[in-house]
Amino acid sequence: MRVNAENAKNADREISITRPDIERVHRLIAPYIRRTPVVDVDGRDLGIAHARVTLKLEQLQRAGSFKTRGAFTHLLTRPVPPAGVVAASGGNHGAAVAFAAMTMKVPAKIFVPVVGIVVSGGNTAAVRFD
């Protein structure tokens, strides 16, 4: 699969992603991302008896999550308009887009929802203020 605007226009079609596609994108984003470690954990440590669990520690990725890989992939495989990119996220997606845009010197606007915390009777709830 070649990632481009034509694919986005035909999003309702089935797209096949091959190993060479993944390898090509990996080579493209490799200079911008970290190689994060993989650790094996005894399943009993997680309450899963008789299992070996393998964890990929993507929280050590730049900007704190695997979403950095997607943000760089997007910026490096699609035409970016002069106005830059926009994301609406108060979490990992917004942080990843902001980091990738800053690194690539692309203008970016990240819209973060306004959230307040209300504490009542020992319970905590997130409340959005529009």
Cα–Cα distance measured from residue 112 to residue 68, given in angstroms and rounded to the nearest whole number: 17
Cβ contact 129:115 at 8 Å: yes
Q: Supply the range of the domain harboring residue 124.
A: 5-128
Whether the Cβ atoms of residue 18 and residue 1 lie closer than 8 Å to each other: yes
pLDDT tens-place values along the chain, 130 residues long: 445 555 556 667 788 999 999 999 999 999 999 999 999 999 999 899 888 899 999 999 999 999 999 999 999 999 999 999 999 988 899 999 999 999 999 999 999 887 765 555 555 555 555 5
Q: What total number of domains does the chain contain?
A: 1
Q: Which two tokens stand for residue 87?
A: 């994301």
Q: What is the DSSP letter of 18?
A: P
Q: pLDDT for 1-27, tens place per residue?
A: 445 555 556 667 788 999 999 999 999
The letter for the amino acid at 82 is: P
